Structure 1
Amino acid sequence: MNPLIRLSIVNLIFFIVMLVINYSLGYNVGYTANEQTPLIQPANYAFSIWILIYFLLLLWIIKGFFVHGKKGSVYKQLHVLTPVNSLLNGTWVLAFTQQKLLLSTVIIFLLLFSLIRIYRNIKRNTNRGLFDLIPFSIYLGWVSIASIMNVFTYFVRNNSFPLLGIEELGWTVIALSLGCILAVLFTLINRDILYPLVIIWSYVAIYMNIQEIAIHLVTLISIVIISSTTLYTFISKVKSEK
């Protein structure tokens, strides 16, 4: 059997297992998340981005059945990372729905780390196709935000605020500000316009869900800064390609 076909079959099997877990326990994820929400929690509609992420991942996996030659090097590079990523995703759902919030926090950061590795490997591969990076740019953007939410959920459920003398509101403002800085740096360094769009999507949903003036202010400022950076990056990419 063609090694690329074998890799794609493995990727598809792990992806399907992940989907089954998510479908079976998806309602419980929402129930757990909404039980005692942190201030950084976005409006429920924001979580619909998972549909887009899973759809794009499925397309990427199916694409692996049809690539040949050097184009297949992307899949060969990720022969371990891709199934491990699916495994971490499904494991996170199991841990989170069982209210094992500390474990789920550890797992989601492992998931984030795996996505960073996948993104970097694809980015460095000169034989990558135009589509190869798209699913993982969006996936990485959302998990970046989800990781922060998971940390705050853990602290809120364990009544850990105030922490170091700072209340939850203060830590939320700090986290959103740092998220903005990291999004700007990521966008400029990688010249990626999809990652920041996901961050903007998340910040708008946080703005819509929370009535605190401080959070409204920091999310609005962050949205303007990230949007400006994204527009600048897009214009720069268009000019460089002419």
Structure 2
Amino acid sequence: MSHSAYHPASPSRMPRRMRTKAGRKLERGGYLTVETVTLWVVYALTILGNALIEGGQLAGATSATIAYAVFTWFTPAGYVFSIWSLIYVALVVWLVAYTKTAPTRPQRFTATSVLFVASCVLNVAWLAIWHFDQVAISFVVILAEWAVLAALYLNVRRTAATPAGRVPIAIYAAWVTVATIANMAILITRVLDGGIAFLNGLSAVALTAGVLVLGYLMYRRFHELAFPLVFLWALIGVGVQVAQVSMLTAVIVFVLAAVGAVLTFVPLGKVRGMLQGR
């Protein structure tokens, strides 16, 4: 090879390399981008923010003390909120899946990453405002978070190639849907100073039916199990909670949940066909 055919790159043209072996591997693979690093940092800050706000009892309160300060007929029992652990673990799975696809994307922020960052910001903002017992403002914030997550879910439905790139966001969006309705119920109950006894039970039944219908539609339209499963988890918790004041309402909620599960998951047409075939 002649000297004229070989032109070593000048230092100014050489790409910057991470000094560690892991860093060089990530950089060669194209995974370590401004976008992916930003998403991981924002996620870590979201976890830290939640830990500091909730663990440190910002404003001398916890989420539970605000949620249960007045009895609300559409607030799930406390154990139901353990789903947040599942959500945060699932988001790690989603971040890994999204990071793996970084080499296929231009070196810029996508709509998916922007929406994810916005959801994280709203997540922490809602929790902080909630701790200050600003239920009305927190409802506006969580409504915005729900809209962002709905847009994020529709986006990943279109762009994600694997379940890992879609299901975690579905779980998150489904739970925030329930949380938004619960926030609304708490706000209305406070405004009405405990509400109206008959309408309280009726509203719990109506909201249960509405959530089940939404889960059914999401499953039929998108074949997404996460929505109806998360909704059923929450609604059973609503029944457990409301049983403290009205066993009749609780039974109706449980029956509706059972019927909703059957209509959503059991292929009634096939069952009917098998019975007729006999």
User: Which bracket does the TM-score occupy, shorter chain normalised?
Assistant: 0.7 to 0.9
Q: Which runs of 5 or more structure 2 residues have no equivalent in the other structure?
A: 1-26, 56-61, 271-278
How many residue pairs were aligned?
231
Deviation digits for residues 58-101 of structure 1, max 9, x if unmatched?
A: 2222333333544789x833121010010010000011111111
1:210 to 206, 228, 242: 242
User: Which of residues 243, 255, 259 is equivalent to 1:220?
Assistant: 255
Highest RCO, 1 vs 2 (Cα 8 Å, sep ≥ 6): 1
| Contact 2:240/2:250 (<8 A) preserved | no
Partner deviation per Cα, 1:128-148 (whole Å, 9 max, x = no partner): 223111101111111111111
1:82 aligns to what? 116
**Matched-pair contact (CA < 8 Å) for 2:153–2:170:** yes
Change (3 A) 1:72 1:116: farther
Q: Does 1:63 align with 2:97?
A: yes
Map of 2:41 onto structure 1: 13
Decide whether the 8 Å contact of 1:200 with 1:227 is kept in 2.
no
Identity of aligned residues (%): 20
| Displacement after TM superposition at 1:166 (Å) | 6.7
Q: Residue 227 and residue 215 in structure 1: after superposition, are their counterparts in 2 closer, same or farther (change >3 A)?
A: same
Q: Could you say if the C-alpha distance between residues 155 and 3 of structure 1 is closer, same or farther in structure 2, counting changes exceeding 3 Å? A: same
Compare CA radii of gyration and give the structure with the larger one: 2
Normalised by the length of structure 2, the TM-score is 0.75
| Alpha-carbon distance between aligned partners in 2 of 1:160 and 1:123, rounded to the nearest angstrom | 42
Contact preservation (8 Å) 1:71, 1:128: no
**Is 1:35 paired with 2:69?**
yes
The equivalent of 1:239 in structure 2 is none
Determine the structure 2 residue equivalent to 1:132: 165
- Paired position in structure 2 for 1:181: 213
**Any idea what the Cα deviations from partners look like across 1:34-60, whole Å, max 9, x if unmatched?**
222301111111000000000111222
Equivalent pair of 2:126/2:138 in contact (CA under 8 Å): yes
When residues 65 and 189 of structure 1 are mapped into structure 2, their CA distance, relative to the original with a 3 A threshold, is: closer
The residue aligned with 2:22 is: none
Aligned twin of 1:117: 151
Q: Structure 1 162/29 Cα, relative in aligned 2: closer, same or farther at 3 Å?
A: closer
By how many angstroms is 1:162 displaced?
4.8
After the TM superposition, which residues 191-206 of structure 1 pair with which residues of structure 2 at under 5 Å, given as runs?
191-206=223-238
Whichever residue aligns with residue 181 of structure 2, its letter is I
Alignment check: 8 A CA contact 1:204 1:223 kept = no
TM-score, normalization by structure 1: 0.85
Instruction: Supply the distance in 1 between the matched residues of 2:53 and 2:126 (Cα, whole angstroms).
Output: 11
Aligned residues of 1:161 and 1:167 also touching (Cα < 8 A)? no
Q: Specify whether residues 129 and 148 from structure 1 end up closer, same or farther in structure 2 by C-alpha distance, changes over 3 A only.
A: same
CA RMSD of aligned residues (A): 2.6
Amino acid corresponding to residue 54 of structure 1 in structure 2: Y
Which consecutive segments of 4 or more residues in structure 1 shift more than 4 A?
1-4, 160-163
